């Protein structure tokens, strides 16, 4: 493994994560989109190498797996994003660096992707644990908020109270 690719991947992963965290409204979307794109790169490499349909189907299955984690991370718990990023290095190394995907996946990509993925997973996990905006569920639960408590009117006419106003 090339040390430059390892260090470069870690630095780029940290930069991506910190930039994503700096944009609270889109943090989860950014992390999810890049996770899916990281998996799609292997589809591109397989297409360029004219691999078999079975191998292409396996790569697309990987996109589906990481796409599912990305979707759940955007719509639910951010821990799904951590899981997707933490599991992606297995896809990188076991299947494409040392496995049969080595025939078409560039070594520089699989090597840098290893540390990139782990850095994104680690920084995202720390961000959740220290209580950033990633800690909360992304599905907002609306609760009614009263601006002021409703007080009973001392008037006895029936038209001045909240109940009387609704009846009128």
pLDDT digits (tens, 9 = 90+) for 10-23: 999 999 999 999 99
Instruction: List pLDDT tens digits, range 37-49.
Output: 999 999 999 999 9
Q: Which DSSP string corresponds to 116-132?
A: HHHHHHHHHHHHHHTT-
Domain extents in the chain: 3-135
pTM equals 0.77
Separation CA 112–CA 31 (nearest Å): 17
Other beta carbons within 10 angstroms of residue 74's beta carbon come to 20
Q: Report pLDDT for 142.
A: 44
């Amino acid at each position: 493994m090339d040390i430059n690719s390892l260090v470069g991947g870690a630095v780029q992963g940290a930069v991506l994560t910190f930039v994503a965290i700096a944009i609270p409204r889109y943090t989860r979307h950014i992390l999810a989109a890049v996770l899916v794109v990281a998996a799609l790169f292997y589809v591109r490499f397989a297409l360029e190498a004219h691999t078999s349909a079975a191998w292409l189907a396996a790569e697309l299955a990987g996109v589906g797996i990481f796409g599912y984690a990305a979707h759940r991370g955007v719509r639910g718990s951010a821990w799904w994003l951590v899981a997707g990023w933490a599991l992606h290095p297995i896809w990188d190394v076991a299947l494409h660096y040392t496995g049969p995907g080595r025939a078409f996946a560039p070594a520089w990509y699989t090597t840098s992707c290893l540390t990139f993925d782990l850095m994104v997973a680690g920084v995202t996990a720390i961000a959740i644990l220290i209580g950033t905006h990633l800690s909360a569920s992304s599905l907002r639960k609306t609760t009614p908020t009263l601006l002021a408590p409703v007080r009973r009117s001392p008037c006895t006419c029936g038209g001045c109270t909240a109940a009387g106003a609704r009846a009128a």
